[in-house]
Amino acid sequence: MTSVFESSSSDKVLSFAWKDNRFGAYNLIWLDSLINSPKYIDKQKELQLSINYLQTFDEVDKCIKYIQSVSSQHRFIVIVNDDFCQQLIPAVHGLPQVFSIYLYGEYKQYDYQRYKLYSKLKYGYNQFDDVISRIRFDRSRRIEDRRDQPMLISICNSNNNHEQSTTEIDGQFVQSQLLIASLLKMQTTSTDKKEFIYKCRELYKDDKTQLHFVDEFEHDYSSNFSLWWYTRETFLYRLLNKALRVQDIDLLFYFGFFIRDLEKQLRQLQHSSPIHVYRAQLMSIEELNLLKDSKNKLISMNSFLSTTRNCKLALIYFDSSTSDDKFQRVLFDIDADPRQDSIKPFADISKISVFQQEEEILIMLGSIFRLKNIYCDNNKIWHIEMNLCSDNQCELQTIFSHMTNQYDSSSTKLTLFGNVLIDMAHFNYAEKYLCRLLKQISSEHKDTYKCYHALGKVSFEKGEYDTSLIYLFKSLEILQKRQSNGSRLAYIHNSIGEVYQKKGKIKEALQSYEKALEIFKQTFADDHENLAWCYNNIGIIYLEEKNFSEALQYLKKALKIKQRILPDGHPCLGNTYNNLGNVHYFRHEYGQALEKYQLSYEIFKKSLTPRHPSIAKALKNIGVVYEVTRDFTEAKVHYEKALHIRKQVFKPKHPDLIEINKDIKRVSLNIQ
């Protein structure tokens, strides 16, 4: 049996990550067959005073499965009774999310000799009270330094000549930048702070200490004190950084006003001359190896980065830390020049910080750096030399700028966040946010039709095609009542066509696409991106009708326009290459089909998050080619990769998820 000892109810819409992202970096897991016995109930409450989130288990298999299912960005402290140590410790010790393991019980001396080989097994205790005392002590040291938490880094893996990315990191890089940009562009409303306070009270309802800080924040907070609040050791710092770490969209939305206040105050205090700063950090072997492979590449820090001008002050942190097989000591050595254009702000906040003695320079969330050099000195400290870069220096900036411009043309500050979430494949969050927005604005608001259009796109992606049509026709109705006859109508007709196509209503789909094309031709030049969108969709219709020559003509027409106006690596190019692959596949030109599908896959990896359905679509299509050419092993490999993505995004009854499971079963029968 599993139980959760936590201080609030869970939002059913939110993912697993929400449960353990509220109280800082470390969460506690306790495994004991007698966990629910009367003698341990009080101990659970006592432990919660040390680490506010506690997950308990009385079955070792469930405990192992739980730990393995969680992102490596989490940090778990595990307490285990010696009855389970032989099963649990070997199974989870090597996982990066397991920070330390405390063993207690009447273990034998030879057991201790055996398990002392595991570096994360910090101590063995006969009395459980000794475990609690040690956890409290260790926690106080972590709060003091804040430097053993995992860093939030995305890596830009592209080259200056826009060669294809070899990993999925680029897409994460672009999307994290888009998410931050959308949060900063949103307007702060009069209700933002009230909603944030309500959420915090809900989360900390059983924690009197943090509720006191929540009350203080409610009464005393103002935007010009945002940095002071950020540096305090309260719920605010831990909650924000954990939300950033696990990308908890819901909580980041509530933090939006505070993030905007921080950015504004950093710009007001922006350092005016070049500066050299340092940051000491304990990094996992996995994190360090990733950076070793990233020399001369760009990295994005997806959190606020605390640094100091005083190198000796930074190095003091290492006095009580040593490198081992779990963590390595790392000193970031950063040059920052504020005279560059389009650079994210950084400022000396020592005069307004709670910790003035740290000589702190705080660097803005989402800042981009060039990793110049990395080496290890004689003291076994790794040095990572970096330059703070202008956003314009990023090799993926052309993609980022173009996608941002697309949002600016199709979204307002009210709908921007929802549309970014759709492109990140966070469909439940997008739906929740857009429905919330509709409740806040009047039916006559100029953006209501955009909300309904965006909700139509969400339902389309979720496979809820009838619901999608309801939203899209509602959006269309609003525009028609306003006697709008421009490109806004065309966008909706195109979306309606996509839904009809998925429903197998080819005639209706073609009619919708042709309506959109007619309007776009009246509004834009012949080589405009919106016309390419229509040509692409009409090409798909002809493909479904097995009119391959017409399909190829329209798709090539779309590709020609997109290649001229879109930056390399833009996801819209990936869509057209995928569709061209479909034409070649149905013409039994499997070599050309595979080439187009693989090109599509590489583009999607470059600009979309690793969990995006378009990546799954490309992987499935590659698998289809391998299957038809009787390479069933490769087909299964690609189908299973597609399944892994779709399981993260879709509900079990989504048609795409049902389809890929059937694909895997079918090819498995052909593998001996």
Q: In whole angstroms, give the CA distance from residue 8 to residue 24.
A: 16
From 113-122, 379-388, 430-439, the region with the lowest mean pLDDT? 113-122
* Together in a domain, 153 and 172: yes
**Contact predicate 230/305, CB 8 Å:** no
Residue 132's CATH number: 3.40.50.2300
**Residue 451 confidence class, pLDDT cut points 50, 70, 90:** very high
Q: State the sign of the Cα–Cα–Cα–Cα dihedral 568, 569, 574, 577.
A: positive
* Together in a domain, 385 and 428: no
Range of the structural domain that residue 483 is part of: 413-523
* Together in a domain, 178 and 324: yes
Q: For residue 352, what pLDDT is reported?
A: 83
From 234-248, 328-342, 521-535, 623-637, the region with the lowest mean pLDDT? 234-248
* Together in a domain, 391 and 443: no
Question: Is this model's pTM higher than 0.75 or not?
Answer: no
**Residue 323 confidence class, pLDDT cut points 50, 70, 90:** low
636 located within any domain: no
Residue 435's CATH number: 1.25.40.10
Q: For residue 358, what pLDDT is reported?
A: 67
265 located within any domain: yes
- Which one-letter DSSP state was computed for residue 322? -
Residue 209's CATH number: 3.90.176.10
90 located within any domain: yes
Mean pLDDT score, 221-226: 93
Q: Please name the residue that has the structure tokens 């796109």.
A: 457
* Together in a domain, 98 and 215: no
607 located within any domain: no
pLDDT tens digits, one per residue of 32-91: 988 888 888 878 877 766 565 788 899 999 999 999 888 776 778 898 988 888 889 889
| Res 322 pLDDT > 60 | no
From 145, 174, 208, the end of a domain falls on 145
pLDDT tens digits, one per residue of 116-146: 567 677 656 677 777 777 776 566 544 444 5
* Together in a domain, 93 and 179: no
With a CB cutoff of 8 Å and minimum separation 6, the contacts of 210 are 200, 204, 234, 235
**Contact predicate 619/642, CB 8 Å:** yes
The alpha carbon of 520 is separated from its chain's Cα centroid by a whole number of angstroms, namely 35
From 90, 111, 145, the end of a domain falls on 145
91 located within any domain: yes
**Contact predicate 83/65, CB 8 Å:** no
* Together in a domain, 240 and 278: yes
| Res 233 pLDDT > 80 | no
* Together in a domain, 184 and 63: no
Count of domains observed in the chain: 3
654 located within any domain: no
* Together in a domain, 33 and 113: yes
CA distances from 509 to 58, 467, 480, 531, 605 (A): 55, 16, 20, 16, 29
From 145, 163, 195, the end of a domain falls on 145
